[in-house]
Structure formats: C-alpha cells, structure tokens
Amino acid sequence: MRNDVTLTGDRLVVEPRGLDKLWGLRRQIEVPLAQVRGATYDPEAFYAGKGLRAPGLALPNAKWVGTFFRDGQRTYWNVCRGGQTVVIELDPSAPFARLYLSVEDGRALVDRINAAVIG
C-alpha cells in the first residue's frame, strides 16, 4: 500500500506514504470533489503505458511514482506491482487528468469516492 486516501468534507486528499513523497516530489495531492469524475478498481493499470516521467521514479515491474505526460495529459502515478490499483479520473480543471494509486481495500475506496461524487 503506497497511499492514504481520505475524503474530508468536499475534498479528496491523497498522501503518498514514506519515501514515495520524495520519489514523486509530492507530499500531498488535494482535489475538490467537484473536480473528481469517478473512480475505478483497475489492478491491471499498473502495466499500462505511462509516458514521459517528469519528475519521478521508474522501477519497471516493481513501482512507478511521480508525474508522467502522455497524449497531452498529465497524470500522477504511485503504484506498486501486485498492489490494489485504483484510477481516479479528474476534471480538466484539476492539476492532473487522473491519479493511479495503490491503496488498501481498493474496491471499498472506489465505492466511497463514487458515492461522494454522485451525492
């Protein structure tokens, strides 16, 4: 598990754990729920193309942490192989197009985020 994800009031807060803060140069990502379009449990996303890394850590087949650019989109990844990866799609006004995160109990988190976004 590489990230703590919490829903507080009208915001979604992602906090990378331990040294992942350093590798990705991000202590925290905070997004208004109004900018969250939905979440999906997607473990196979770990193997998807990530694009150009800037900045971040790439250990293929092990872990990816940081900001990546692909097809004109800026995405944030903090995933490890075999982890429970969730994908959070954000509005164009958000700092990233989407977040790819390894988390604990991915399915439950996805349900909580989607319920908060719809509600």
Partner 1 sequence: MGRQRGYDEGEVLDRAAATFLRAGYEGTSIEELVGATGLHRGSLYQAFGSKRGLFVSCLRRQVSEHPGSEDTTDLVLVALLELAPRDEEVRGLLGEHLDRRGVTATDLGRRLLTRALMDETKDDGDA
Binding residues for partner 1, rule: CB under 8 A, are: 37-42, 44-45, 48, 70-71, 73, 75, 87, 89, 91-92, 97-98, 110-111, 114-115, 118-119
State the nearest-atom distance from the C-beta of 118 to partner 1, in Å.
Answer: 5
Half-sphere exposure of 17 (CA within 13 A, CB side): 11
CA dihedral (50, 71, 17, 103) positive or negative = negative
State the nearest-atom distance from the C-beta of 21 to partner 1, in Å.
Answer: 25
State the nearest-atom distance from the C-beta of 19 to partner 1, in Å.
Answer: 27
Cα 20 off chain centre by: 12
